[in-house]
Amino acid sequence: MTTSLLEKHRGLSERYGRMMEAGENAVGLTNDRIVSPTRALINGRETILAGTNNYMGITFDPDCIAAGKKALEEFGTGTTGSRIANGTYAMHGELERVLAGMLDRKHCIAFTTGYQANLGMLAGLAGPKDTVFLDADSHSSIYDGCALSGAKLVRFRHNDAADLDKRLARMEDDGGGRLVVVEGIYSMVGDRAPLDEFVEVKKKHEFELLVDEAHSFGVLGPNGRGLADEAGLEDDVDYVVGTFSKSVGAIGGFGAGNQDMFEMIRYASRPYMFTASASPASVATSIASIKKLQAEPERRTQLAKNSKRLFEGFRDLGLETGCDVVSPVIAVRCPDEPSTITMWNMLLAAGVYVNIALPPGTPGNICLLRCSVSAAHTDADIDRIIALFGEVVAAG
């Protein structure tokens, strides 16, 4: 008798069943209605949102909403095609020009999702004769992009430039290109790549450097361009990748660079070539949002203040955070999966939503209750989150 293709997921099904027995669906909770950037109705109750990656709190900005409505009325609901077929509208080019200007890069390619941006950039840059050196804690989209590229994959220890140096030194020159990939802010615990250390390794070995600024774009740096902007090392970074689903509050992604042949990625990257382009409403809201982030740096200032307040509040409770660096991603370590699920349900019942992060999707297979701070959170919101963590997590 032929085995069902789904039988391989039996263990996962049992694990999911145990989670549901403990309460709500922690990995697929439904928001009945979004009330504001920091509030939603969940199970009929108004709940503080502390796990949405809505860093700039821009999702309900009137100008961005108006831009989306206007595009919907003028261009319709969707493009019904890829960029290389019928799916390129004038606004796609405008988005790329606006973003290239903000990033201070000559070239920019907009993708339909952030996941697709990593998939498309890595598959367009690397090939079977090349080698990608990848931080072990990289996002799944980066791993998947490497797999699609067909390049040789070499992992180095998380944020360890010395380990990268050793691996590069041991590798023979096989004539292929070398790409090193790190992230601005790592999404699970909120730590950052020590970019200055990686740049020093780059000066020693010949390779190109890509920084995924998904969680740091709009957040870090005097211009909001991300970690490379904050570190003053943008000239040492060859490629930048990011997403519109965090600070920009829309959907989509991008890749940018200064290389003369950068535009050829459009014609070499299958994820770009064979995916329908972003809808007019999403493109228009992204353009409006990016312009607003440039014009309102006070959003970054407020986000930094809110992040510091939550981080210090958790530390005052004696909670163990994922890292020692303040960022908008603040994760609390938990002892095991059952207790993490229990505490997540208790927090939700008390009126605050956070992310639950469990193995194998976490670094070192740790269990986390992950918060993402927004510039739209008030001091009262932050204090309420701290108080509830004190009641639920510190007491448990």
Tell me the per-residue pLDDT of 294-331, one tens digit each, with 9 for 90 and over: 999 999 999 999 999 999 999 999 999 999 999 999 99
What pLDDT does 396 receive?
A: 64
pLDDT digits (tens, 9 = 90+) for 123-148: 999 999 999 999 999 999 999 999 99
Residue 59 has pLDDT above 90, yes or no: yes
* Cα 191 from Cα 101, distance rounded (Å): 27
pLDDT at 64 exceeding the cut of 80: yes
Which one, of 156, 137, 134, 158, lies nearest residue 146 by Cα?
A: 134
Mean pLDDT on 365-384: 97
Please tell me the least confidently modeled range out of 98-102, 170-174, 348-352. Answer: 170-174
Portion of the chain with pLDDT greater than 70, in percent: 99
Residue 288 has pLDDT above 90, yes or no: yes
Under the banding of pLDDT at 50, 70 and 90, the label for residue 171 is confident
Residue 259 structure tokens: 């290389």
- Which domains are seen in the chain, by residue range? 5-59+297-394 (3.90.1150.10), 62-295 (3.40.640.10)
Secondary structure of the chain in HEC code, one letter for each residue: CCCCHHHHHHHHHHHHHHHHHHCCCCCCCCCCEEEECCEEEECCEEEEECCCCCCCCCCCCHHHHHHHHHHHHHHCCCCCCECCCCCCCHHHHHHHHHHHHHHCCCEEEEECCHHHHHHHHHHHHCCCCCEEEEECCCCHHHHHHHHHHCCEEEEECCCCHHHHHHHHHHCCCCCCCEEEEEECECCCCCCECCHHHHHHHHHHCCCEEEEECCCCCCCCCCCCCCHHHHHCCHHHCCEEEEECCCCCCCCCEEEEECCCCHHHHHHHCHHHHCCECCCHHHHHHHHHHHHHHHHCCHHHHHHHHHHHHHHHHHHHCCCCECCCCCCCEEEEEECCHHHHHHHHHHHHHHCEECEEECCCCCHHHCEEEEEECCCCCCHHHHHHHHHHHHHHHHCC
CA distance 132 to 126: 7
298 burial (CB, 10 Å; 0-12 / 13-18 / 19+) is exposed
8 A C-beta contact, residue 226 and residue 217: yes
164-188: average pLDDT: 94
- Beta strand pairing call for 39-42 and 329-334: unpaired
Q: What percent of the chain has pLDDT over 90?
A: 96
The 10s digit of each residue's pLDDT in 70-84 is: 999 999 999 999 999
pLDDT category at 175 given cuts 50, 70, 90 is confident
Please return the burial class of 304, using the count of CB atoms within 10 Å of its CB with bins 0-12, 13-18 and 19+: middle
pLDDT at 1 over 80: no
Predicted confidence at residue 162, as pLDDT, reads 98
| For residue 253, pLDDT beyond 90 | yes
- Where residue 174 falls among pLDDT bands split at 50, 70, 90? confident
Distance CA 358, CA 393 (A): 16
Place of tokens 């697929």: 28
Q: What is the pLDDT of residue 389?
A: 96
- Categorize the per-residue pLDDT at 2 as very low, low, confident or very high, splitting at 50, 70 and 90: confident
pLDDT computed for residue 264 by the predictor: 97
CA angle, 66 as apex, 62 and 71 as ends, to 5°?
155
- Rounded CA-CA distance 166/155 in Å is 12
- The pLDDT mean for the chain works out to 96
Chain segment 199-208, per-residue pLDDT in tens: 999 999 989 9
